[in-house]
Structure 1
Amino acid sequence: MQSYICRNKCAACYRQYNKVEHLVEHMRVSFHSVHEPKCDVCQKQCRSYESLREHLIGPLPKVECARVFSVRGCNLCLKLLDSSSALRSHRAACQFSRTATGLISRMSRLNLQAGSYIDNGQMSGSRVVALGCKMVGGGSDGSLDLCARVCLVGEDENIIFHAYVKPQLPVTNYRYESTGIRPEHLRDAVPIKQAQRRIQDILCNGEPMWKVRSKGSKARILVGHGLEHDLNCLGVEYPSILLRDTAKYPPLMKTSKLSNSLKYLTQTYLGYEIQNGIQDPYEDCVAALRLYMRMRYPGHPRDYASGCSDASARNNYPAWRQRELERMTPEALLDLSGSDYYCWCLDSYN
């Protein structure tokens, strides 16, 4: 009986089934693939980094995995190193907390709190751009989000564009406690239409919008947290295939498929705190960019099936193959499976 159950155990998440047809149905709808976060101790695949973290160092972790991980595991990237000495060397490179102080000092030198305008012209090297916005309130109760400050940062974490933006509607709540924005910052601010054009030019990288939407475009990948909301408030359109949103990336989301905050993700996976007191869009840009870069290089092979528009077509489990599928091993069934989201690691191949 035990061997029968093991025969029907998923090779990815290790869920066990009494009947092989139940395992086949699980594989048909689960979309397991090499892109899922994996425990380096037992090789179990998890839906998200949050569930992997719970598996390794949560309140009720897998005992053997937790024991090994406590000696040789990095609590930020959740990788298992060869030895405790290798772990000590790894932490120097993995923990971004060592650069948090430098980040604050760079923000201070740029004097971004004092109403500055920065436009570094055309940049040729950066393929990835991070966007951060700060909103003030409009409407009778101040609950309507109006973009009043915007920042674009390149892969080198240097500012490409930064400006205070004059909203088209009257501001009824400056939300100073979190934004640091006062009326004088917006008195001579850039008109939002001008900011829209400049941001669009930077993102499209000199190409018209119709070409940006086509394959092989030179347009830049846009990274951020809550990008759809930021772009809507800015009034900027950009193709979804070029958006990398840390609020919607499945491996970074909660197990319940709800979004984690940028503050939580930065603390948990980058090792330093942000958004304490008055928030700076440059700080948000850098945090989202670092999260993207970390997720972009997870070290697994390319899966040509990942990111297909039709998730159901990616998993090769048609009903007419049911008998053939039931004769396959769990490992063979896993080989047929592909993820139902575009893994950011594929950006490094393009």
Structure 2
Amino acid sequence: MDYRVESSETLRNKCAACYRQFNKIEHLVEHMRTSYHSAHEPTCGICKKHCRSFESLREHLIGPLPKQECRNIFSTRGCKFCLAILDSPYALRVHQDRCQLSGVNAGLLGRFANLGIRDNTENGSTRGTQVVALACKMVGGGSDSSLDLCAKVCLIDEYENIIFQSYVKPLLPVTNYRYETTGIRPEYLRDAMPLRQVQRKIQDFLCNGEPMWKIRPRGGKARILVGHGLDHDLDSLQVEYPQVMIRDTAKYPPLMKTSKLSNSLKYDIQTGIQDPYEDCVATMKLYMRMRSQVHKIEAYPLASDPQNRNNFASWRQNELERMSPEQMLEASRSDYYCWCLDSRDM
């Protein structure tokens, strides 16, 4: 029987975050220079391994080739929705009852939401709203019906209350109403709110009295906008909004399958006719879950912060090679803005 014992040198060159091993310390330094490991990465609650996304964390815990020790514990105490590890099977049952993204209430409210125009953008109760979710439903335009035209829009707050909802009259003729998925008929758009009016209402509500050029990520009046594939929705509405205020679940690295492949919004709510209210609820719940994660508080949490730019500079190579993997991990920072940082500004 062949027993292989790891040398102390190999163990010393083992990444303290993802546990990859390197033959030479300089290879580990180069790995740390490009991997951007940080406290904001999805981390296994059992072995503490860092993963690039929740998709890779799920594979680590469930399969197809999971770490066996982690899989055994996760099978009895792990939440299949958020991948958290609970203290006991009973605690897991209590947790899962409130952890699911979709539920009866969302579908019920969505059906009531179809009744017509809802406009609370001027309502005083929305003035303190800091986060809103947006979703649109598209019909087809152009000679081949491949042009997406916004025909219905919904805007909700973080408590899933409708702020604004309306059918939208496109600027171009509709050639395919896509009824099977939109539920929209020609008569719904005949007297619908014109696109320009919808555009102004949404733009004004998002900016919240702040000039576009003055909007900043912290300390301003403008609202955080949540959605899935928001570039497409905003383009169809012809609404401009700064990227620093957008939280797109299709582009958020921890939710992506790889660094270049977007995730898709596939929940039970997206069967048959899809209502934009239900899409808003799904993305808002996902955003709130990501925002509520508790991560280590750092004064300068991003690799792009000026104080961190030289942490792994090539001219520090000799100094870095004398560090332990744990010390290098301590110096490393994330290359994306973690949504948990939003909760510290609210």
Distance (Å, rounded) in 2 between the aligned partners of 1:63 and 1:315? 39
Distance in 2, Cα, partners of 1:302 & 1:161: 36
Aligned residues with identical type, % of pairs: 66
SS at match of 1:136: strand
- Compute the displacement of 1:93 (Å): 2.4
Give the length in aligned residue pairs.
337
Deviation by residue 1:143-164 (Cα, 9 ceiling, x = unmatched): 0111111000001101000011
Q: Which residue of 1 aligns with 2:3?
A: none
Partner of 2:300: 305
SS in 2 for 1:217: coil
Tell me the SS of whatever aligns to 2:295. coil
Say which is worse superposed, 101-110 or 58-67, in terms of deviation: 101-110
Q: Quick one: structure 1 residues 289 and 311, their matched pair in 2 at CA, closer, same or farther if it must change by over 3 Å?
A: farther
> CA offsets per residue over residues 59-90 of structure 1, 9 Å max, x none?
21110100011111111111111122221222
Q: Contact 1:315–1:337 (CA<8 Å) still a contact in 2?
A: no
Q: Which residue of 1 aligns with 2:333?
A: 338
- Match of 1:47, SS state, is coil
Deviations 1:290-332 (A, max 9, x none): 0000000111122333346579954611111111110100000
- Map residues 16-55 of structure 1 onto 2, 5 A cutoff: 16-55=21-60
Alpha-carbon distance in structure 2 between the residues aligned to 1:174 and 1:136? 5
Equivalent residues of 2:16, 2:325 under 8 A apart: yes
Cα gap change, 1:300/1:283 in structure 2, threshold over 3 Å: closer, same or farther?
Answer: same
Distance 2:156 2:45 in 1: 34
Contact 1:132 1:152 in 2 (8 A): yes
State the TM-score, normalizing by the size of structure 1. Answer: 0.92
Check conservation: 1:34, 1:303, Cα contact below 8 A.
Answer: no
Counterparts of 1:251-330 in structure 2, within 5 Å, are 251-255=254-258, 257-263=260-266, 267=267, 273-307=268-302, 309=304, 314=309, 316-330=311-325
Q: Residues 133 and 155 of structure 2 are in contact (CA less than 8 Å); yes or no, is this contact kept in structure 1?
A: yes
User: What's the RMSD between the two structures over aligned residues?
Assistant: 1.7
- CA pair 303-275 structure 1, distance change in 2 beyond 3 A: same
TM-score, normalised to structure 2, is: 0.93
Partner AA of 2:322 in structure 1: R
Q: How does 1:133-282 map to 2 (within 5 A)?
A: 133-213=136-216, 215-255=218-258, 257-263=260-266, 267=267, 273-282=268-277
Match of 1:7 in 2: 12
The CA deviation at 1:107 is 2.0
Displacement of 1:191: 0.6
Gaps of 5+ in 1: 268-272
Verify the 8 A CA contact 1:73 1:87 in the aligned structure 2. Answer: yes
Corresponding residue to 1:89 among 71, 94, 116: 94
Structure-1 separation of matches of 2:280 and 2:334? 28
Task: Choose 76-85 or 186-195, whichever is displaced more.
Answer: 76-85
CA distance in 2, matches of 1:227, 1:119: 21
| Contact 1:31–1:315 (8 Å) recurs in 2 | no
> Is the 2:139–2:151 Cα contact (8 Å) retained in structure 1?
yes
Q: Is the 8 A contact 2:36 2:303 kept in 1?
A: no
